[in-house]
């Protein structure tokens, strides 16, 4: 037994030494390749540098304008000297950057001007960055699209395809793109980005077919969304047929709709600040077992929260719902829980219609409660014409510190 242990320990030492030697060789073999459109570097074109790189290399690109459509098919790091002046311009043709290798990092660029093809179903949508692989990092870039006479649709900023998991999209400015990010895969992080909406959708989480794996376990956090030009269409965050995603600490203002959950389950929406939406701040339709928690929802022109058709067993808890036209609107749903929310300065606190029955209201604070200690009566209609009421049996006497 002792001999076995000794031989096993020697085996581990040999294996470890071999791994360390291979790692050191890999580090020594990695190189930095320089690109300068003015000459004087290793290459004048980024694609030539990629073609002559090996996995693990770094390509450093000096400031300049590079009229290219690049395909990154090796696990490399691509760094721009200055994101305002190191520009890859697709000239409104096709995709600007396509990533097919795993473990690619792209940072410090202005990436702009893909084409206009919007054929999602044929999977040939033009986009500024197309990701078809895993474990990539898109960091500290400007992603944009110049609009000029003769072109009418800005397509996608970033397209993260099916089976493209574990990507990290962080600290980017995504500007002038009508459709900003489309996400079909799982375990991705989209965090700390500035997203300028221009009439379309911001971040779309999407499962195209029930026969495909869900778009799930993504983290959408600490992004800032706002609109320019067109505010009468588009959702900041749109979830369709997805599950188990986290949407947190985002700031959304002056857009058509804030966060929309459709045909989805087990998503967590918490600590977001959603204000000044033309329609709803947060909406849930045909969706079950989602959690809407600790959000600031204010000044939305239609309703702070909408719970729509076929939505069951969702939890809406500990939200500040203030200064909206309607605090919460419900249509044809049941068994949802509304617990310990603050309803303050809304023109109307709650509106419900059709078969919105068997919902649970408990411990909410209502600033228009006349007599504290009594149940809060919520007036609505059953069907289209029959007056109906719901009750919050134990309303709070003081607003919660949320």
| CATH code assigned at 289 | 2.160.20.10
For residue 226, being part of any structural domain is answered with yes
135 pLDDT more than 60: yes
Contact between 65 and 89 under an 8 Å Cβ cutoff? The reply is yes
Number of domains in the chain: 1
Q: For tokens 């600790």, name the residue.
A: 294
Q: What is the mean pLDDT of the chain?
A: 89
Domain containing residue 195: 32-349
**Is residue 284 situated within a structural domain?**
yes
Burial of 11 (0-12, 13-18, 19+ CB in 10 A): exposed
Residue 327 lies in a domain: yes
Task: Determine, yes or no, domain membership for 362.
Answer: no
d(CA 156, CA 116): 9
Paired residues of 354 in beta bridges: 383
Domain assignment present for 4: no
Distance CA 199, CA 290 (A): 27
In a domain, 400, yes or no: no
Q: Do residues 191 and 219 make contact, with C-beta atoms less than 8 angstroms apart?
A: yes
**What phi and psi values does residue 4 have, to the nearest 5 degrees?**
-60, -45
What are 298's strand-pairing partners? 275, 322
329 within some domain: yes
pTM of the model: 0.89
Q: What is the pLDDT of residues 178-199, one digit of tens each?
A: 789 999 999 999 999 999 987 7
Cα–Cα distance measured from residue 103 to residue 131, given in angstroms and rounded to the nearest whole number:
11
Are 105 and 77 in contact by the 8 Å Cβ rule? The answer is: yes
Say whether pLDDT at 28 is over 70: no
For the ranges 68-82, 135-149, 244-258, which has the lowest average pLDDT?
A: 135-149
- Give the Cα-Cα-Cα angle 181, 304, 267 (nearest 5 degrees): 50
Residue 354 located in a structural domain: no
Distance CA 364, CA 399 (A): 8
């Amino acid at each position: 037994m002792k001999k076995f242990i000794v031989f096993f320990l020697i085996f581990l030492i040999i294996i470890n030494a071999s791994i360390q030697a291979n790692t050191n060789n890999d580090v020594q073999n990695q190189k930095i390749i320089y690109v300068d459109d003015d000459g004087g570097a290793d290459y004048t074109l980024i694609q030539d540098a990629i073609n002559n790189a090996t996995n693990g290399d770094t390509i450093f690109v000096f400031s300049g304008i590079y009229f290219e459509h690049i395909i990154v098919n090796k696990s490399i790091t691509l760094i721009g000297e200055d994101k305002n002046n190191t520009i890859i311009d697709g000239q409104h043709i096709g995709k600007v950057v396509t990533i097919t290798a795993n473990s690619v990092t792209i940072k410090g660029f202005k990436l702009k001007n893909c084409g206009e093809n919007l054929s999602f179903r044929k999977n040939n949508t033009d986009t500024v960055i197309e990701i078809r692989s895993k474990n990539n990092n898109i960091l500290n870039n400007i992603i944009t699209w110049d609009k000029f006479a003769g072109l009418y649709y800005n397509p996608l900023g970033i397209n993260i395809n099916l089976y493209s998991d574990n990507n990290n999209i962080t600290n980017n400015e995504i500007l002038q793109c009508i459709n900003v990010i489309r996400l079909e895969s799982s375990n991705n992080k989209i965090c700390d980005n500035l997203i300028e909406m221009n009439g379309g959708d911001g971040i779309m989480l999407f499962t195209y077919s029930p026969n495909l794996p869900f778009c799930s376990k993504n983290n959408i956090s600490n992004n800032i969304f706002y609109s320019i030009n067109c505010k009468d269409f588009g959702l900041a965050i749109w979830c369709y047929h997805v599950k188990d995603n986290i949407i947190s600490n985002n700031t959304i203002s002056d857009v058509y709709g804030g966060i929309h959950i459709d045909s989805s389950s087990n998503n967590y929406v918490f600590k977001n600040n959603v204000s000044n939406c033309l329609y709803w701040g947060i909406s849930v339709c045909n969706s079950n077992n989602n959690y809407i928690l600790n959000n600031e929802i204010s000044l939305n022109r239609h309703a702070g929260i909408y719970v729509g058709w076929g939505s069951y067993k969702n939890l809406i808890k500990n939200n500040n719902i203030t200064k909206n036209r309607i605090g919460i609107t419900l249509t044809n749903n049941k068994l949802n829980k509304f617990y310990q929310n603050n309803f303050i300065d809304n023109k109307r606190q709650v509106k419900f219609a059709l078969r919105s029955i068997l919902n649970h209201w408990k411990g909410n604070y209502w600033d228009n409660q006349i007599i504290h200690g009594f149940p809060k009566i919520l007036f609505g209609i059953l069907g289209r014409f029959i007056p109906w009421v719901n009750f919050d049996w134990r309303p709070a006497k003081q607003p919660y510190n949320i």
